[in-house]
């Protein structure tokens, strides 16, 4: 018994989804890019960043946590949604400390790449200048809390993929922070540089030591093509 195909439209384009797929997964497969930050194709969605919010059947819903359903009418690439997403990216920039010009992740950073893709120039919101710690206790991994955008990717990866639960949240509201499963720093946890949790960070919060400049600035993923290009290349009839 095959699962019944689901048909829906995204900005007027008809696409087909499989039962059990989320809206974002169905769109990814169809070559339609919905901007996102906390979603990762290999992890259970958590809905932290809300960047993938679309207008689905007239309501605002995050595409990563909305199951695809037959007849769905989805608006994704609209000036309104782009403006809201750009504001969200700006908020994340001012919440932490993100000095792109000298950040190790520049060119490989999804936050930076979304800023470019969504047309952010300079943040208009107030910088919050948080006081957060740098954790360099681990021999192979640096944890720079200033860069953290609380996307929970590492929390999910460590729990589900690595089976270690090295990370969690702490506190609430604007004081919420990434927390680790040891009092003495990351070096006291089971964390290893080969863990899934070490490779899913979208920014430069979790950085593998002595590895950062293997690919030089200017030759990195998003230096070559805007974020989402890989997904859009899957679209039938897309130019190679």
Partner 1 sequence: MTSVDNIIAEFRADRSRLMDIVMAVQHRLGHVSDASIQSLAKGLGMHPVEVDDMVSFYSFFDRAPRGRFRIRLSKTPISLIKGAQAVAAAFEHDLGLTMGGTTPDGEFTLEWTSDIGMADQEPSALVNGVVLTALAPADVPHIIAALRQSGHEGGLPPYPPHRGQGAALPRARVRPGLVKAGPLLSDLPEPGTAIMSALAVTPDAVIEQITMSRLRGRGGAGFPTGMKWRLTRKSPGKQHYVVCNADEGEPGTFKDRVLLSEFPDLVFDGMTVAAYALGSSEGLVYLRGEYAYLWEHLQGILDARRKAGWLGKAVGNRAGFDFDIRIQLGAGAYMCGEESSLLESLEGKRGAPRDRPPFPTEHGYKGQPTAIDNVETFVCAARIIEKGAPWFAAQGTRLSTGTKLMSVAGDCTYPGVYEVPYGITVNALLDLVGGSDAEFVQISGPSGQCVAPKDFGRQIAFEDLSTGGSTMVFGRERDVLAIALQFAEFFVDESCGWCAPCRIGTTQLKLAMEKVVAGRATRADLVGMEALSHTVMRMSRCGLGQMAPNPILSSMRSFPEHYEARLRGEVFVPAMTMDGALREAVTVQGRESMMETS
The beta-carbon contacts of 75-84 under 8 Å, at least 24 apart in sequence, are 75/10, 75/11, 76/10, 76/11, 76/27, 76/32, 76/34, 77/11, 78/11, 81/53, 81/54, 81/55, 82/118, 82/119, 84/53
Size of the site for partner 1 (CB under 8 A): 42
Q: Shortest distance, CB of residue 167 to partner 1, whole angstroms?
A: 7
Residue 81 beta carbon to partner 1: minimum distance, rounded to whole angstroms: 9
Question: For residues 101 and 124, which CB has a smaller minimum distance to partner 1 in the complex?
Answer: 124
Which window, 2-10, 44-52, 98-106, 199-207, contacts partner 1 (CB under 8 A)?
44-52
- Of 46-75, which residues contact partner 1 (CB under 8 A)? 47-51, 53, 60, 62, 65-67
* Interface with partner 1 (CB under 8 A), residue from 29, 75, 140, 168: 168
- 22 closest CA partner among 59, 58, 57, 52: 52
Residue 10 to residue 6: CA distance in whole angstroms: 13
User: Of 24, 43, 92, 204, which lies in the binding site for partner 1, with binding defined by CB under 8 A?
Assistant: 92
Residue 169: left if φ>0, alpha if ψ -120 to 50, beta else—which one?
A: beta
Question: By C-beta, is 150 or 217 nearer to partner 1?
Answer: 150
Residue 174 binds partner 1, judged by CB under 8 A: yes
**Smallest distance from partner 1 to CB 29, Å:** 21
Contact 60, 84 (CB under 8 A): no
Contact predicate 81/53, CB 8 Å: yes
Q: Which of 56, 118, 166, 197 binds partner 1 (CB under 8 A)?
A: 166
Among 1, 14, 122, 175, binds partner 1 (CB under 8 A): 175
Torsion of CA 94, 100, 106, 108, to 10 degrees: 20
Contact 76, 32 (CB under 8 A): yes
Site for partner 1 (CB under 8 A): which residue of 16, 73, 128, 194? 128
Residues lying near partner 1 in the complex (CB under 8 A): 47-51, 53, 60, 62, 65-67, 83-84, 87-88, 91-92, 94-95, 124-126, 128, 149-150, 165-176, 179-183
């Amino acid at each position: 018994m095959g699962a019944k195909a689901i048909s829906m439209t995204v900005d007027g384009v008809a696409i087909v989804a499989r039962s059990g797929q989320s809206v974002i997964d169905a769109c990814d497969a169809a070559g339609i890019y919905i901007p996102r930050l906390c979603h990762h194709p290999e992890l259970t969605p958590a809905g932290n960043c809300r960047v993938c919010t679309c207008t689905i059947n007239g309501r605002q819903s995050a595409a990563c946590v909305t199951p695809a359903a037959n007849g769905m009418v989805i608006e994704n690439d609209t000036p309104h949604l782009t403006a809201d997403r750009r504001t969200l990216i700006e908020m994340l920039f001012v919440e932490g400390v993100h000095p792109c010009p000298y950040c190790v992740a520049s060119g490989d950073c999804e936050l930076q790449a979304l800023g470019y893709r969504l047309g952010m120039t300079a943040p208009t919101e107030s910088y919050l200048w948080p006081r957060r710690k740098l954790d360099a206790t681990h021999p192979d991994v640096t944890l720079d809390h200033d860069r953290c955008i609380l996307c929970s990717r590492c929390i999910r990866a460590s729990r589900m993929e690595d089976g270690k639960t090295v990370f969690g949240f702490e506190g609430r509201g604007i004081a919420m922070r990434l927390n680790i499963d040891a009092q003495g720093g990351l070096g006291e946890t089971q964390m290893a540089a080969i863990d899934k949790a070490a490779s899913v960070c979208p920014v430069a919060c979790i950085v593998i030591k002595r590895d950062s400049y293997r690919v030089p600035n200017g030759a990195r993923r998003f230096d070559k093509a805007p974020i989402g290009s890989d997904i859009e290349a899957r679209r039938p009839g897309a130019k190679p």
